[in-house]
Chains A and B, each alone.
Chain A
Amino acid sequence: MTFGESVAVEAPPRTTSERITRMLTKAPIHIGLAIVGLIWLLPTVGLLITSFRPASEILSTGWWEIFAGRLSFTLDNYQQVLGSQGMLNSFINSVIITVPATILPVFFCALAAYGFAWVDFPFRDSLFLIVVGLLLVPIQMVLIPLVELFASMGVYGQFTGLWIAHTAFALPFGIFLLRNFFITLPRDLIEAAKIDGASTWNIFRTVVMPLSVPALASFAIFQFLWVWNDLLMALVFAPRPNGLPMTTQVQNLLGTFATEWHLLAAASFLIMVVPLIVFFSLQRYFVQGLLAGSVK
């Protein structure tokens, strides 16, 4: 699903007067949508502008003075948060955390989803129902025992622990999403490959995987954003003090510099920049993934 073109319900206006009449009858809609657009854009735009303003000026003039053309801009804030405030290090940590915590779930979920869709074994449907039931288990339900478990495994406060926790929590949703996609693949195709003597593994690898790229992409994007934007798991499991991702780093900055907007604004945009790039470049998969993920 994308944001979809509107269905053309009306014929194009033929004359100037018709055009004007239509503009007037639709005026309330245009005004309403303009207000909606402003409310949804201004908060983000305001912080974006602020992230490029000198610290000394932020507290004396509002960012909206940009419309009067009176503001000056600088890259100092980004330089400062990336350097002395550790956001560059945190950016790298976010990448270190997110990449394996996306690849591993996609791999394990694809395997299991194929098993639930096309391999026959006892209790298959009951097991799948249990997996779906696990979708809603909140992270809070496992935090304390996981800390103990990771400590006994020697991975508490290490990236490995965070990867394991994110992978385990991604499984119910990923299996659910991919299994529902896999069962829509034509049975004949899989039967034909079987008759040609392909092993279950080869059918999975050479028939099912290539046909499932859109579903895998939607899930991968959803999972990537989920981990990239995660705060709670990182607060508990991320390596301290040098392995924190950007979300926890910004939370730390809020504690120290609650009103240093030049730092907070720049740091927040560093978190947002990767998701925004994904949003604009892969919008279709992005929306699909997020809508499907709403069951989580």
Chain B
Amino acid sequence: MSTATAARESAPDVAESRGPKFLQGWNMAALIFIGPAVLLLAVFMIYPAIRTVILSFDDGLGNYVQLLTADPRFLSLRWPPGGSIFNNVLWLLFYTGGCIVIGLIVAVMATRVRYERIIKAIVFLPMAIAATALGVIWRFVYSPDPDTGLINAILGVVGVDPISWLGNATFVNTALIIAGIWGSAGFAVVILSAALKGISSEILEAARVDGATEGQIFRRIIVPMLSLPISVIAVTLTINVVKLFDLVYIMTKGGPGNASNVIAVQMYQQFSARNFDYSATVAVVMLIILIPVMIFNIRRFRSERVVA
């Protein structure tokens, strides 16, 4: 470290500073520019996060044992399986998968029409809307009254009795995930559409000349060439799923019963019920789930040379 410091001190940018050894090489400029941010992060983010970890161990490992093995609201392995972490897995599979599939279909179709901009803007629009408003929009769509709820009105036309989509444990997760896909698919569309434009038309032409069908071109050329943007979307949506709170809280509060609960909502419920050490445990579990994602992202940033 001393050689590194010496090398830096010879740099023209660094004013000579004398003081405690660990401050050597630091100067007024560095303190003025990064000081406030580092202080804010240390006091209002790092310190509280450490306190939360300590709080979760208030009862030794008791909270973790309770949460992971004896809390059916978190994980119930009886048939049918359930619990908030199980619902997060459902979201991970179907919301992430749904966004990518719909994103691909819409992006591919949109590049072939003149109103591409308009259709992409329409699908992207929900990204601007607060999840709170999005939740109200979809509560209205799912309303059990066929005179107000669009879906039950359509079902009524074909003679199906109205269904309480959000009040029925069988349908509630599907209903929520569809609302979630509606809110996020625009993100996948915009990313994939930009990536599609990066695929050279010469490759596609060459494949067509060689007699490939459109279906083969899609499966053998387009999808493999999109694998990087698709993995970026998958990681992003995974973060969304772990942090998912507003939409579920607004639409069902995790109900009926515990049928649609997710971990972020469960954490808040425990927090509101003043079970602070237990809610801290749920928060730590959220963080642990996010750590692999964090590592993946840092690797990606590094390969893109955006992180030193």
Write the residues of chain A forming the contact surface with B, with a CB cutoff of 8 angstroms. 1-7, 9, 26, 29-30, 32-33, 36-37, 39-44, 46-47, 50, 58-62, 64, 108-109, 111-112, 114-116, 119-122, 124-125, 127-129, 131-146, 148-149, 164-165, 167-169, 171-172, 175, 180, 194, 200-201, 204, 225, 228-229, 231-232, 235-236, 246-247, 250-251, 254, 259, 261, 264-265, 267-269, 271-272, 275-276, 278-279, 283, 286-287, 290-291, 294-296
Contact = CB atoms under 8 A, between A and B. Distances in A.
Contact of A43 (B141, B279, B284): B141
Contacts of B153: 62, 64
B36 interface: yes
B119 A36 contact: yes
Given A125-B308, A164-B44, A1 B190 contact: yes
Contacts of B120: 3-4
Interface string B255-271: 00000000010011001
Contacts of A287: 124, 190
B34 A112 contact: yes
A236 to B, nearest CB: 8
A136 B52 contact: no
Contact of A112 (B33, B49, B124, B250): B33
A265 B306 CA distance: 43
B194 A265 contact: no
A240 to B, nearest CB: 13
Nearest to A278: B128
A280 B115 CA distance: 17
Contacts of B51: 144-145, 148
Given A30-B113, A111-B32, A111-B33, A43 B44 contact: no
A6 B130 contact: no
B150 A46 contact: yes
Contact of A275 (B13, B130, B268): B130
Given A50-B148, A120-B30, A138-B243, 9 more contacts: A6-B116, A39-B182, A40-B186, A43-B137, A62-B147, A114-B33, A120-B11, A267-B136, A294-B236
B140 A40 contact: no
Interface stretch (B79-87, B89-97, B290-298): B290-298
Contact of A231 (B5, B32, B114, B132): B132
A17 B117 CA distance: 27
B78 interface: no
A111 B36 contact: yes
10 contacts: A3-B116, A7-B197, A29-B112, A33-B109, A40-B186, A41-B122, A136-B239, A143-B283, A144-B52, A231-B245
Interface in B236-288: 236, 239, 242-243, 245-246, 249-250, 264, 267-268, 271, 276, 279-280, 282-284, 286-287
Given A119-B13, A231-B246, A132 B287 contact: no
Nearest to B110: A33
Interface residues of B, number: 110
B45 A122 contact: no
B61 interface: no
A146 B197 contact: no
A132 B307 contact: yes
A231 B29 contact: no
A29 B106 contact: no
Interface in B6-49: 8, 11-14, 24-27, 29-30, 32-34, 36-38, 40-41, 43-49
B100 interface: no
B30 A231 contact: no
Nearest to A164: B44
Contact of B41 (A2, A40, A131): A131
B271 A137 contact: no
A193 to B, nearest CB: 12
B26 to A, nearest CB: 5
Contact of A144 (B12, B132, B280): B280
Nearest to A177: B306
Contact of A5 (B33, B55, B117, B130): B117
A231 B131 contact: yes
B34 A29 contact: no
A122 B8 contact: yes
Given A64-B153, A138-B283, A254 B136 contact: yes
B48 A141 contact: yes
A190 to B, nearest CB: 10
Nearest to B194: A1
A42 B33 CA distance: 48
Contacts of B52: 141-145
B187 interface: yes
B137 A44 contact: yes
Nearest to B37: A112
B122 A58 contact: no
B169 interface: no
A33 B123 CA distance: 11
B282 A47 contact: no
Contacts of B155: none
B63 interface: no
Contacts of B147: 59-62
B162 interface: no
Given A3-B190, A121-B8, A232-B245, A171 B37 contact: yes
